[in-house]
Structure 1
Amino acid sequence: MAKILVVDDEADLELLIKQKFRRKIRENVYEFVFAQNGEEALLRVKEHPDLDIILSDINMPVMDGLTLLSHLPDANPMLKAVVVSAYGDMQNIRTAMNRGAFDFVVKPVDFEDLELTMEKTILYVKQLQDTIRAIKENNILKMYVDENVLSFMTHKEFENSLLKNEVVDATVLFIDVCGFTSITENVPANTVVNLINGLFDKIVTEIVAQGGHVDKFMGDAVMAVFRGDFHLDRAIDAALAVNEQLNNVEEITTGDKSYKPQIAVGINSGEMVSGNIGSESLRRLDYTVIGDAVNLAQRLQSAAKAGQIIITEETYHKAKESFRCERIGEVTLKNKAKPVTIYQVLE
């Protein structure tokens, strides 16, 4: 349905419009809103943000049609106006067009010509609305989908690639924002979301800087995957950088509550399965990694205290030439039959 604002000070025009377009009004093809001058029209634009087009006279009291045209870009830049006026001289037509009019119809009105002009204008506006909507949806999509995936989606092999599962050698990084749950019980929801999103931005910046891919956000934790050359070194560098970033963050105060952000990190390397995991019937699949190496990284994170970056002894032997680490000892981890020796990465 198209929503049309008619602006004219002729008292009988509203009745005439409703008579001429009664069938399309009844069939919900058109909906009309009426105003008697430009000033009133601007109020109607504010009241009806879903308006598609305007049919406006020129000569009206309070505010004329040409002045109205100059205000429309600020009131609603998506609206397009068709001027319907007895003042059809070239000067008025040129002034109307220069102020953004889409078309010009001369009175006395030929309603067949007017409807064709309306249909043309409505089609243009709908196409414009679809374009803007697509841009917005694309920007929203970018918030949820990796940029490389988005660019690849235009390729023909994209659909087949979604079915591809493989075993990869990679490093998984789990970062938990410590103590954040307690603050959620004492501050407004919007404040909580803004705080955690601000902290996540700092975390993500360092992950991306080291060539990592943010796999998912889980409550107040982040899971990231590093592949390619030196994936373990880059994951540890990212964790150290995040630790340093948050150490420099001042204490956050909300109301009478104070909070100093810290992280607990688990890192593990090894073989893992990469593919689309989820429910096809629900149409929700995550392109992610699974396997014992991934589970162990999460268990290490749960064993880490605030400010600690925890790795296994096996990972320590891979990283000890590049990083200074300290042995913590043995811990019992979920689903591990034997205690696991863990180390803390210091620098």
Structure 2
Amino acid sequence: MTATILFVDDEPDLEALILQKFRRQIRDGQLALIFARDGLEALESLEQNPHVDMVVSDINMPRMDGLSLLAKLQEAEEKKSTIIVSAYGDMSNIRTAMNRGAFDFLTKPIDFADLDATIEKTIRHVEMLREVRRRQMEAERAHASLSRFFSPEIARRLAADVEGDGMEVQWRDVATLFTDITGFTSLVETAPPQTLGELLNEYVGGMTEIVFAHEGTVAKIIGDAIQVLFNAPGDQPDYATRAVACAHALDAWAQDFSARWKARGVNFGATRIGAHAGPALVGNFGGNRFFDYTAYGDTINTAARLEAANKHLGTRICVSASVAEGAENFHGRPVGDLMLRGRSEPLRAFEPLPQAKFEAPATAQYAEAFAKMEAGDAAAMPAFAALVGMHADDPLAGFHLKRLLNGAKGARMQLE
């Protein structure tokens, strides 16, 4: 690399001395030297030679002095590393120059050995800054490209290419969401391909944007189903709170999406969401040729089964107690103790509710009826019947009433 240096000094003999001193480096292509006699001439020279690597400037010069030149150089988008030269007795100006961003200083009369060493040090600094900028630009380009395909956090880590930065397979405590659409298989079989493509792209795009807004990681998209992780790959101490907030936002967006497409004559089903929190094996399971950042384990399976439980319960969102208890200011109502496939112990589940619905009188009425049912009180059946009578659009209350009418007792239930 040839380093280009701009010397700014009004002494008439300096140019010849400098050229004589650095003749070998100039001959070998290590240095290229440019000269200016004051600050204004230096700025004009920099416009014509933007590739200049560093500036060596005197302070006392006509028209524009070195301190004024330094101020102009620091205002530029690409700041030039500047060495200030002044008399030893002018230390106040040298201190001012250093405070204004000068890289180093030299005193007059110039010791050429000191000048040589200072230039070498400055060139190393310039090369280091260029390498940092180059890597930053490469990382930004890589991140922009990867962000088209991966969650922002995964894209950032992949672009940084830092080994062992959370992408390796490891056990982590996570919160995970599963989403699915009712009746999607039938829609696939009946909708024209062009309509289906537009619909699914808009749906998945909108859902993933919401996940990214809550800083979640999209682990999988399989058709209409989406798996989301929180607290992976980066640490998110409030992962349960994020999961609940994200579930509410996804639910609201999906309902609006369904209504818009229904107005266009397409019967798009409801989106169901399940969430659970606990340990999972998380990392890249794609081998050497593919990238597949995802999670496995009982926590993941349970979240998927809670999503499926919505179909029986009549709910759209169903979360486990680990999510409800871990989320800050959780608003919701108990669903019951679910005996899910693959689990030997019942799992307490909840239906998260928006704050307005949670504070409505019907929620308190439901809580009273549920408490009676959980206690085995025979008054639970008329309590749920009264609730359904006033709120026929409450499918969860209707689900419990049907159970009780069929002879079930308590809050434990087996879901197929």
TM-score by length of 2: 0.44
Question: Contact 1:170–1:225 (CA<8 Å) still a contact in 2?
Answer: yes
In structure 1, stretches of 5+ residues that fail to align are 184-195, 250-261, 299-310, 327-347
Instruction: From the superposition, tell whether residues 290 and 73 of structure 1 become closer, same or farther in structure 2 (CA, over 3 Å).
Output: same
Instruction: From the superposition, tell whether residues 162 and 97 of structure 1 become closer, same or farther in structure 2 (CA, over 3 Å).
Output: closer
Cα separation, 1, equivalents of 2:282 and 2:62: 69
Q: 1:288 aligns with which of 289, 294, 301?
A: 294
Aligned counterpart, 1:277? 285
Aligned counterpart, 2:229? 225
Give 3-state SS (helix, strand or coil) of 1:278's partner: coil
Q: Is it true that 1:37 corresponds to 2:38 in the alignment?
A: yes
The structure with more helix, counted as a fraction of residues: 2
Q: How much has 1:7 moved relative to structure 2? A: 2.0
Question: Contact 1:171–1:225 (CA<8 Å) still a contact in 2?
Answer: yes
Question: Contact 1:78–1:129 (CA<8 Å) still a contact in 2?
Answer: no
Instruction: From the superposition, tell whether residues 172 and 64 of structure 1 become closer, same or farther in structure 2 (CA, over 3 Å).
Output: same
Instruction: From the superposition, tell whether residues 222 and 73 of structure 1 become closer, same or farther in structure 2 (CA, over 3 Å).
Output: farther
- Whose radius of gyration is greater, 1 or 2? 2
Instruction: From the superposition, tell whether residues 202 and 234 of structure 1 become closer, same or farther in structure 2 (CA, over 3 Å).
Output: closer
Opposite residue 59 of structure 2, the aligned amino acid is I
Aligned counterpart, 2:248? 240
1:123-170, Cα deviation, whole Å (9 max, x unpaired): 4455566677788889997954499999xx79xxx489825589x995
Cα separation, 2, equivalents of 1:263 and 1:25: 75
Instruction: From the superposition, tell whether residues 135 and 37 of structure 1 become closer, same or farther in structure 2 (CA, over 3 Å).
Output: same
Q: How much has 1:55 moved relative to structure 2? A: 0.3
Aligned counterpart, 1:60? 61
Q: Is it true that 1:84 corresponds to 2:85 in the alignment?
A: yes
Opposite residue 79 of structure 1, the aligned amino acid is K
Question: Contact 1:268–1:315 (CA<8 Å) still a contact in 2?
Answer: no
Aligned counterpart, 1:213? 217
Cα separation, 2, equivalents of 1:233 and 1:92: 56
Aligned counterpart, 1:72? 73
The structure with more strand, counted as a fraction of residues: 1
Aligned counterpart, 2:168? 162
- Aligned ranges 1:249-288 → 2 under 5 Å: 265=271, 267=273, 274-280=282-288, 285-288=291-294
Q: How much has 1:18 moved relative to structure 2? A: 4.3
Aligned counterpart, 2:185? none
CA RMSD, Structure 1 to Structure 2 (Å): 5.9
Give 3-state SS (helix, strand or coil) of 2:285's partner: strand
Aligned counterpart, 2:106? 105
Instruction: From the superposition, tell whether residues 273 and 98 of structure 1 become closer, same or farther in structure 2 (CA, over 3 Å).
Output: closer
Question: Contact 2:54–2:82 (CA<8 Å) still a contact in 1?
Answer: yes
Q: How much has 1:56 moved relative to structure 2? A: 0.8
Instruction: From the superposition, tell whether residues 160 and 94 of structure 1 become closer, same or farther in structure 2 (CA, over 3 Å).
Output: closer
Cα separation, 2, equivalents of 1:180 and 1:25: 68
Opposite residue 225 of structure 1, the aligned amino acid is L
Question: Contact 1:80–1:125 (CA<8 Å) still a contact in 2?
Answer: yes
Instruction: From the superposition, tell whether residues 62 and 232 of structure 1 become closer, same or farther in structure 2 (CA, over 3 Å).
Output: closer
Cα separation, 1, equivalents of 2:17 and 2:154: 52
Cα separation, 1, equivalents of 2:61 and 2:269: 66
Cα separation, 2, equivalents of 1:36 and 1:162: 59
1:216-247, Cα deviation, whole Å (9 max, x unpaired): 799xx97523699xx99986763432353688
Instruction: From the superposition, tell whether residues 162 and 199 of structure 1 become closer, same or farther in structure 2 (CA, over 3 Å).
Output: closer
Give 3-state SS (helix, strand or coil) of 1:84's partner: strand
Cα separation, 2, equivalents of 1:13 and 1:61: 16
Instruction: From the superposition, tell whether residues 76 and 268 of structure 1 become closer, same or farther in structure 2 (CA, over 3 Å).
Output: closer
Q: How much has 1:69 moved relative to structure 2? A: 1.8
Instruction: From the superposition, tell whether residues 264 and 313 of structure 1 become closer, same or farther in structure 2 (CA, over 3 Å).
Output: closer
Aligned counterpart, 2:378? none
In structure 2, stretches of 5+ residues that fail to align are 144-150, 182-194, 233-238, 258-267, 319-333, 336-349, 352-393, 397-416
Opposite residue 213 of structure 1, the aligned amino acid is T
Cα separation, 2, equivalents of 1:57 and 1:5: 11
Instruction: From the superposition, tell whether residues 200 and 47 of structure 1 become closer, same or farther in structure 2 (CA, over 3 Å).
Output: farther
Instruction: From the superposition, tell whether residues 126 and 248 of structure 1 become closer, same or farther in structure 2 (CA, over 3 Å).
Output: farther
Aligned residues with identical type, % of pairs: 37
Question: Contact 1:5–1:51 (CA<8 Å) still a contact in 2?
Answer: yes
